[in-house]
Structure 1
Amino acid sequence: MTAKTAKSSCTSVARRLVVFVVYDNIVLLDLVGPLQVFSHAPDPATDAPGYECVVASVNGALTTTNTVLSIPSVAAETLADQDIHTLIVVGGDGAIPGMRDAKLVGLVKTLARRAERVASVCSGALVLAATGWLNGRRAVTHWDDCAMLAAEFPEVRVELDPIFIKDGPVWTSAGITAGIDMALAIVAEDLGRAAAFTVARSMVAQMVRSGGQSQFSPALSRQLRDQAGQFEALHAWIAHNLCEDLTVELLAARAGMSPRNFARVYARTMGMTPAKAVAAMRLERAQGLLETTAQGVKQIAASCGFRDEDRMRRAFVGLLGVSPSEYRANFNVS
């Protein structure tokens, strides 16, 4: 079974029914994050809610989560004759026994046949893969579950890095908060970018992230390397002064260390030289500006400390394999 049998258009169902499939021991945020997005997305044509949301399970009982809360749901059989706009399989530790539960897998398969779009959040990809719906398709899940997804379902083309992947009418997302990113992208596809930005703003999301972004946050990686916070203040200062000439001598002075000792301790702690760290932060900032603004490449290069377009282009090609213009063409959401 593949999703090729699914309906081709994602705009023909005016009702836009979104069904979330749950089972015991789901991750609560895997459900309520995307549910919040779809529940509050406005239809730009009518200003009415853009979607109708339903939470369904095999028997319609209370579903346990990884928190103290349990989730009410309707029995899946009540949706047997419904046209579903988007079907979303929620993730959680329960996905591992769930992918071997014939009733749950059968439920997802039945509902998927009535859906125009099929999706999973986090380890929900394991349950979705068990239906055969991901066979031959690119897919992603939480980085900690990618190896299991690939081992259990070798016909799935598992990718480790993206926060979400769209392969035809089938969408999969990485761990937890990536489900919110995927939901915002679906809203943008259905209702337009303005509707997605409205929801993101109401949720105080910093930005609408594209699927090509990595699961692995550079800022979080720096914090993990520097758990004692020795260079936390320095990194914050660098982020606000990227257009300056950030020499080792200047950085060492900010850190209150001699240049030689600073370079040695920084490299040992962070796993890279100060110069490479600055270059990475400049690239990170430039990526964000290319994704979310209409600023010219020359302006971005100057504001990020690359000095000129050619230096920024070399950094992009060397580290990402694409030019700034190519990167913007792929990932800009402004």
Structure 2
Amino acid sequence: MRSVALLMHDEMSVLDYSVACWVWGADRSRAGVPRFDLRLCSADGAPVTMEPAALVRAAHTLDGLADADLIVIPGAGIPREPLDGRLADALRAAADRGTDIAALCSGAFVLAAAGLLDGRRATTHWLLAGRLAEAHPEVTVDPGALFVEDRGIWTSAGATAGIDLCLHLVRLAHGVNVANTIARHLVAAGHRDGAQAQYVARPVPAPGSAAPDIAATQAWALERLDQSLTVADLAAHARTSPRTFARHFADYTGTTPAQWLLHARIARAQQLLESTTLPIDQVAARCGFGVTALLRRHFARLIGTSPGRYRRLYGH
């Protein structure tokens, strides 16, 4: 994935536009990140207004979408329909070619208006999920997911979930090390677990409360992934009961301690497969899976391929 077309439309979000530009538009070749061809495309190549208070010039017309590896659609503060027929035609033609298309936040409304979400699962910002479901009942809206893929069409929740999706697309195409390098430059998490629910307003622990320091325990666990850690071990480090720890952990991360551990082990396996020639059984041991079969099963379920094939694709 080297050519990325950013489909610009009036009143698109400055933040969504910036996310795509920072992920694919910055030159990080000195850090080992490949150069991307980021194309700013609009109908007729005309300048596009952004919210709040900005104007951006397009370097390409909609022809820039024709041979792109990926098309990215920023959201808009207030999704508007009907969609410009030229944009809808260009998107449908790209989908027919098999081009991956990713909509950030309310960009899902653009895809829905083009008919590309019909019969598909999708997500958007939790504040807009009900509106999307009502306006497009043929779409299966998941209001909880950070991002969703359905047959080459990607949608994401709010702005920071757009970062998650963009980094995930980089990870799929170029491997975890490239994605993590970009994430470090953005001071963003290379991968986040959980769902949108973790970002909905909720009470926070009062200063001086007995709530455990979840971040400190996560850092402690990441240094010991080769060990057979349990929720009880994490709770012991946090100096609280397993039940209390699990409750606070879910409030803090939006997922369970066990699921977080599993994803952390898989991420470590990806790093080792990309950067070392360790045999698969040693990779499994260093990631805390113990036996190779367990690594293979979870790796296939979460990554969609085998550890061996992943190494052949992304190993150095």
Whole-angstrom CA distance in 1 between matches of 2:177 and 2:84: 34
Distance change (3 Å), C-alpha of 1:178 and 1:52: same
Whole-angstrom CA distance in 2 between matches of 1:304 and 1:49: 31
Deviations 1:146-188 (A, max 9, x none): 34323321222434436241524x3333332343454456567
Whole-angstrom CA distance in 2 between matches of 1:148 and 1:79: 31
Deviations 1:20-69 (A, max 9, x none): 22332x443311111233324799xxx9954142153797353223xxx5
Instruction: Report 1:240-251 matches (<5 A).
Output: 240-241=223-224, 243=227, 251=235
Q: Which has the higher contact order (CA 8 A, sep 6+)?
A: 1
**Which residue, out of 265, 268, 283, partners 2:262?**
283
Instruction: Report 1:10-49 matches (<5 A).
Output: 16=3, 18-24=5-11, 26-40=12-26, 49=35
Report deviation, 1:124. 0.5
Letter of the 1:124 counterpart: G
> Where does the alignment leave 5 or more consecutive residues of structure 1 unmatched?
1-9, 317-321
Task: Please name the residue that 2:134 is paired with.
Answer: 151
1:193 to 2:184 alignment: no
**Are the aligned partners of 2:7 and 2:71 in contact in 1 as well (CA < 8 Å)?**
yes
Report deviation, 1:330. 0.9
Task: Please name the residue that 2:87 is paired with.
Answer: 108
TM-score, normalising length: structure 1? 0.61
**Are the aligned partners of 2:13 and 2:50 in contact in 1 as well (CA < 8 Å)?**
no
> Where does the alignment leave 5 or more consecutive residues of structure 2 unmatched?
none
**Are the aligned partners of 2:122 and 2:141 in contact in 1 as well (CA < 8 Å)?**
yes
**Which residue, out of 177, 195, 199, partners 1:216?**
195
**Which residue, out of 107, 119, 122, partners 2:105?**
122
Letter of the 2:72 counterpart: I
**Are the aligned partners of 1:57 and 1:73 in contact in 2 as well (CA < 8 Å)?**
no
1:231 to 2:205 alignment: no
Deviations 1:116-170 (A, max 9, x none): 53431121101220121222334333344334323321222434436241524x3
**Are the aligned partners of 1:91 and 1:125 in contact in 2 as well (CA < 8 Å)?**
yes
- Report SS of the residue matched to 2:25: helix
Whole-angstrom CA distance in 2 between matches of 1:245 and 1:19: 43
Distance change (3 Å), C-alpha of 1:215 and 1:29: farther
Deviations 1:168-218 (A, max 9, x none): 4x33333323434544565677xx526x85475245267765xxx855289
- Report SS of the residue matched to 1:204: helix
Task: Please name the residue that 1:165 is paired with.
Answer: 149
The size of the alignment, in residue pairs, is 280
**Are the aligned partners of 2:51 and 2:76 in contact in 1 as well (CA < 8 Å)?**
no
Whole-angstrom CA distance in 1 between matches of 2:212 and 2:28: 43
Report deviation, 1:87. 3.8
Task: Please name the residue that 1:93 is paired with.
Answer: 77
TM-score, normalising length: structure 2? 0.63
